Amino acid sequence: MITAFAVAPVVLVTLLIGLRGVAAMRTTSDFLVASRRVSPLLNSAAVSGEYLSAASFLGVAGLVVKDGIGALWYPVGFTAGYIAMLALVAAPMRRSGALTVPDFAEARLASPALRKLAAVVVLVISGLYLVPQFRTAGLVLSVVGEQPYWVGVVIAGAAVSITLVLGGMRAATYVQAFQFFFKLLLFIVPAVWLLTQVGPQVREEALHPVEFTHFHQDTAVTFRVPVTLEVPPGAALREPDGTVTPLPEGEWQVPGGRAVVFPAGAPAPDLAGETAPGGPGWQRPLLDLEETGYPLLGTLSVLAATMLGTMGLPHVLMRFHTSPDGRAARRTAVLTVALLSVFYLFPWIYGVLGRVLVPHLYLSGATDTAVVALPAQVDTGAWGTFFTGLLTAGAFAAFLATSLGLVLVASGAISHDLVPGGLRQLRVAVVGAATVVVLLALPAFSFDAGTLVTWGFTVAAATFCPLLVLGIWWRGLTVPGALSGVTVGLLASTGAFTLTLFEPPVSGWLAILLAQPAPWAVPLAFAVMIVVSLFGRPPPWAAAAMLRLHLDENRHSLIADRHAVARDLGHSSWSARRSSAVRRITRRLVR
């Protein structure tokens, strides 16, 4: 019932808005950058709607429940990244005339190999970012609506692919802008309602946390993945017939899929290797990753990944190409910072209330669902059901808005950058990309959404951030330097993640740098790119390209052929081949 009430309207409105883009979609730029005619206000709302993913709408509050107040550094990094993008990337990228990041890479350095490497990086980032979106869609519907996990994953994949096939970027822009204000409303109103309903005792406990050590009432927990619990003396289970069975003290291996009920008053087990919500240091201002005892290093690692990663996210960069000019791209970035700042004022409310009302979610690793689980804990009647439905609708809107941009950029990398094709091939690539992500998300329900998204940010920080910053601001960048730096950044970041999956026996600062490699992977990529470039010679058109990227459009239009300047790559026809499009960008840069 809640599923139909919450999800069906969101999916229906998404599809109806997607129909708006059908009639206007005839060219490559129509599909990928909405003909570059999106106003700053609409574009900033769309960027914000796209950026507020499952990791933001649900994940930040879930991280606060699990890791404490220090988790709020994540939204600080997410938002601050737009300031760096505003200062360094937004306007020059728009002036380049490229449609995608690989477009810019090849046009700036005239290297098809660099273009293909950049397209591979786009697919890696998109995969790391998309799987958590679809995974959380399945998880939320399974918790709230008692639906099988795969139902939410398949619904998300179908809605995203149909919307993009119908309307491309234009449809995605309208959907994301609408869903931003929709999510903002559905996040603020339930937060205010929860604060007024919980009573003064819960508010006091939320502000002065006490470690979660006992169950206040009979509590049902479903372990969707295998976990190891440390059982204290006196712990017990309530059997289906109502009797209470003591648990043996010590480690307890719980298989995935098991559901148990802990009786009221029983001591709560601890998750092996984790500190219970509200435990010592829960209110610390810094983020102590993996309980290693290096909170400053852990916080700086997260900030480096999220701030620099935002500058290199391909689906965000593609949004700035939809602006009419560089000045509009900068205005879009400024408005985006303002809109995101309003949204991020509220996740901490859900986090601190979740620690008091649903702390047991950390046992099953389902803290991502704390936001949608809270209303039913406060009111078991109609109002609780109503607000659970509203938050579920907002969460599903978050999955769809972010997934639209990511599937679009992934299909562009396949059908525009790796294998040049037309409109039909782009639509086929959209369906293919969504299908692959659904297949990857089905077995991925045990992965933490926040971890995978942070990995996506780290890959973007270690690859596209150096390429864009040096490509825009340093004329000495060469093809070997760019290829070497991007390759090293990609191998360093993905290699660290892969090693982390095998749980190597490391601790302390080394464990942090392995789990969050941005502090060393990003400087390494910058250093390799610069050192290798110093041994070569930049392209002869590098100085002219710098002027083109940084001069105001109105100024250089006075010295250029007006007819040539007015002709933008974005208005090329679908029949134009990708290679000729890149040549036009290159001519534009060197003119």
At 291-306, the pLDDT tens digits run: 777 888 889 988 999 8
Average pLDDT of the residues in 566-585: 46
pLDDT value at 23 more than 60: no
In sequence order, what are the residues at sequence separation of 6 or more whose Cβ sits closer than 8 angstroms to the Cβ of residue 116? 102, 417, 418
pLDDT value at 555 more than 50: yes
pLDDT at 562: 41
Whether residue 82 lies inside any domain: the answer is yes
Distances, alpha carbon 316 to alpha carbons 50, 381, 525, in Å: 8, 41, 21
Residue 253 host element (H or E): strand 250-254
Q: Would you say 276 and 211 are in contact if contact means Cβ atoms under 8 Å apart?
A: yes
pLDDT value at 45 more than 80: yes
Distances, alpha carbon 585 to alpha carbons 103, 122, 567, in Å: 8, 20, 11
- Cα–Cα distance, 72 to 448 (Å, whole number): 17
pLDDT at 2: 61
Whether residue 502 lies inside any domain: the answer is no
Whether 248 and 369 map to the same domain: the answer is no
pLDDT value at 339 more than 80: yes
Whether 70 and 2 map to the same domain: the answer is yes
pLDDT at 209: 80
pLDDT value at 566 more than 50: no
pLDDT at 1: 60
Whether 302 and 384 map to the same domain: the answer is yes
Whether residue 476 lies inside any domain: the answer is no
CA nearest neighbour of 500 among 514, 516, 518: 514
Average pLDDT of the residues in 164-171: 72
Distances, alpha carbon 274 to alpha carbons 38, 67, 386, 584, in Å: 47, 9, 34, 55
pLDDT at 417: 77
- Cα–Cα distance, 494 to 472 (Å, whole number): 25
Using pLDDT thresholds of 50, 70 and 90, give the confidence band for residue 558: very low
Whether 303 and 378 map to the same domain: the answer is yes
pLDDT at 3: 62
Top-ranked range on mean pLDDT: pick from 225-234, 237-246, 482-491: 482-491
pLDDT at 404: 78
Secondary structure of residue 215 in the 3-state scheme = coil
pLDDT at 449: 66
pLDDT value at 311 more than 80: yes
Average pLDDT of the residues in 432-449: 81
Whether residue 579 lies inside any domain: the answer is no
Q: Which of 164-173, 175-184, 581-590 has the lowest mean pLDDT?
A: 581-590
User: Judging by DSSP bridges, how do beta strands 236-238 and 244-246 pair with one another?
Assistant: antiparallel
pLDDT value at 576 more than 60: no
Q: What is the DSSP string of 536-565?
A: S---TTHHHHHHHHHS-HHHHHTTS-HHHH
Whether residue 554 lies inside any domain: the answer is no
Higher pLDDT, 337 or 38: 337
Average pLDDT, the chain: 81
- Cα–Cα distance, 435 to 154 (Å, whole number): 9
Using pLDDT thresholds of 50, 70 and 90, give the confidence band for residue 479: very high
Whether residue 450 lies inside any domain: the answer is no
Please name the residue that has the structure tokens 């996740």: 347
- Cα–Cα distance, 566 to 12 (Å, whole number): 39
pLDDT at 533: 94
Q: Would you say 493 and 341 are in contact if contact means Cβ atoms under 8 Å apart?
A: no
Distances, alpha carbon 495 to alpha carbons 138, 487, 501, in Å: 28, 12, 10
- Cα–Cα distance, 268 to 229 (Å, whole number): 10
Distances, alpha carbon 117 to alpha carbons 319, 479, 487, 491, in Å: 21, 12, 8, 12
Which tens digits make up the pLDDT trace of 487-502?
999 999 999 988 888 8
Q: Answer with the one of 394, 428, 445 that is the final residue of a domain.
A: 445
Average pLDDT of the residues in 158-185: 79
Whether 288 and 251 map to the same domain: the answer is no
What would the two tokens of residue 154 be? 């398949």
Whether residue 272 lies inside any domain: the answer is no
What would the two tokens of residue 414 be? 């396949």
Q: Answer with the one of 405, 426, 445 that is the final residue of a domain.
A: 445
Average pLDDT of the residues in 125-138: 84
Half-sphere exposure of 111 (CA within 13 A, CB side): 21
Q: Would you say 125 and 459 are in contact if contact means Cβ atoms under 8 Å apart?
A: yes
Whether 143 and 252 map to the same domain: the answer is no
Whether 105 and 243 map to the same domain: the answer is no
pLDDT at 191: 92
Whether 240 and 362 map to the same domain: the answer is no
What CATH number does the domain containing 131 carry? 1.20.1730.10
Secondary structure of residue 236 in the 3-state scheme = strand
- Cα–Cα distance, 6 to 142 (Å, whole number): 13
Question: DSSP secondary-structure letter at 23?
Answer: T
Q: Answer with the one of 267, 290, 309 that is the final residue of a domain.
A: 267
Residues in the chain: 591
Which tens digits make up the pLDDT trace of 207-230?
888 888 888 888 888 887 778 888
What radius of gyration do the chain's Cα atoms show?
A: 24
pLDDT at 586: 61
Whether 38 and 107 map to the same domain: the answer is yes
For 83, other C-beta atoms within 10 Å of its C-beta total: 15
Structural domain count of the chain: 2
Average pLDDT of the residues in 510-517: 87
pLDDT value at 528 more than 90: yes
Q: In percent, how much of the chain has pLDDT > 70? A: 87
Top-ranked range on mean pLDDT: pick from 8-17, 38-47, 177-186, 470-479: 470-479
User: Between helices 149-197 and 347-357, what is the axis angle to 10°?
Assistant: 90
What would the two tokens of residue 281 be? 């240091």
Whether 263 and 283 map to the same domain: the answer is no
Which tens digits make up the pLDDT trace of 451-469?
778 888 899 999 999 999 9
In sequence order, what are the residues at sequence separation of 6 or more whose Cβ sits closer than 8 angstroms to the Cβ of residue 408? 32, 164, 168, 169, 172, 315, 318, 430
Average pLDDT of the residues in 60-78: 87
pLDDT value at 145 more than 50: yes
pLDDT at 529: 95
Whether 257 and 294 map to the same domain: the answer is no
Half-sphere exposure of 217 (CA within 13 A, CB side): 6
pLDDT at 577: 47
pLDDT at 31: 66
CA nearest neighbour of 411 among 432, 435, 430: 430
Whether residue 549 lies inside any domain: the answer is no
pLDDT at 85: 81
Which tens digits make up the pLDDT trace of 247-284?
888 888 888 778 889 998 889 888 877 778 887 778 88
Amino acid at 209: P
Q: Phi and psi (nearest 5°) for 245?
A: -110, 120
pLDDT value at 513 more than 90: no
- Cα–Cα distance, 458 to 460 (Å, whole number): 5
Kindly report the pTM of this predicted structure. 0.82
Strand order in the sheet with 250-254: 250-254, 227-231, 270-271
Secondary structure of residue 323 in the 3-state scheme = coil
Alpha helices (H) in 145-216, listed in sequence order: 149-197, 199-207
pLDDT value at 570 more than 80: no
Query: Containing domain of residue 4, as a range?
Result: 1-20+29-201+279-445
Alpha helices (H) in 68-148, listed in sequence order: 73-88, 90-96, 101-109, 112-144
- Cα–Cα distance, 407 to 410 (Å, whole number): 5
pLDDT at 568: 40
pLDDT at 519: 92
Whether 63 and 184 map to the same domain: the answer is yes
